[in-house]
Amino acid sequence: MPRRQEESRETPAFRERIGNLLGRTRKARLLTLGTALALIVAVVAFIALPEDDDGLPYDAYAKAADRLCVAQKQAIVEAGQESLTGPDRGLEAYAGRLVPIVVEWRAALNGLNAPADRSALAEEMSYALRQVAVKAGALARVARVESKAEAAKAAGAVDEATAAVETSIADLGLRRCADLRVTLVRNPA
């Protein structure tokens, strides 16, 4: 069969299929066009939305917990700077300043009343903060009466407990606070 005859047979079938797909009446074509536009808008909106890695909402609770976390980390940094430059210096002084900050943080976090979907995560963070307070209290005592080796060991325990708090911060989706790293600059003297 010649190629032109073959094409002419396919063309009506193709046109017929497109007509069926788009609709035969004006109303059907408008309905098809509206559906296509709705799908395009949905796809564009899905692509444009920021990806939420942890799947947790950044709602009023998360914002309040994030603000609290940032404020407490700032207080920790200030306490660290005081311990390096203030009249009451040293590891014992820093640990002694750290305990009330962490206790206050824990109490304020517990007062926020976490939503049901994050209550277990909030409890984990509360527990991690409690561990930091306990370990920092032990560090303050050890730094006052024990050897430097014992103080270093106690400081390591505080660091481990602090790492658990950082993990909890990320798990709760506290975005701003998770981006803050608490570091102390040593006095060059």
pLDDT tens figures, 163-186: 999 999 999 999 999 998 765 444
Look at residue 42 in the predicted model and tell me its pLDDT.
65
Contacts of 58 (CB under 8 A, 6+ apart): 52, 173, 175
Q: Which two tokens stand for residue 13?
A: 């079938």
Alpha carbon distance 28, 20 (integer Å): 10
- pLDDT recorded at residue 7: 55
| Beta-carbon contacts of residue 85 (< 8 Å; ≥ 6 apart) | 187
Radius of gyration of the chain (CA): 31
Nearest alpha-carbon partner for 58 in 167, 176, 182, 160: 176
Yes or no: say if 105 and 117 are a contact pair by the CB < 8 Å rule: no
Whether 61 and 118 have beta carbons less than 8 Å apart is answered as yes
| Segment 66-111, tens digit of pLDDT | 999 999 999 998 888 888 887 877 888 889 999 999 999 999 999 9
22-35 pLDDT, tens per residue?
677 877 766 666 66
pLDDT in tens, 102-139: 999 999 999 999 999 999 999 999 999 999 999 999 99
Please name the residue that has the structure tokens 């709602």: 59
pLDDT of residue 108: 96
pTM of the model: 0.67
Give the pLDDT of residue 148: 83
Spatial CB neighbours of 103, under 8 Å, sequence gap ≥ 6:
133
Q: Which DSSP string corresponds to 5-40?
A: HHHHHHHHHHHHHHHHHH-SSHHHHHHHHHHHHHHH
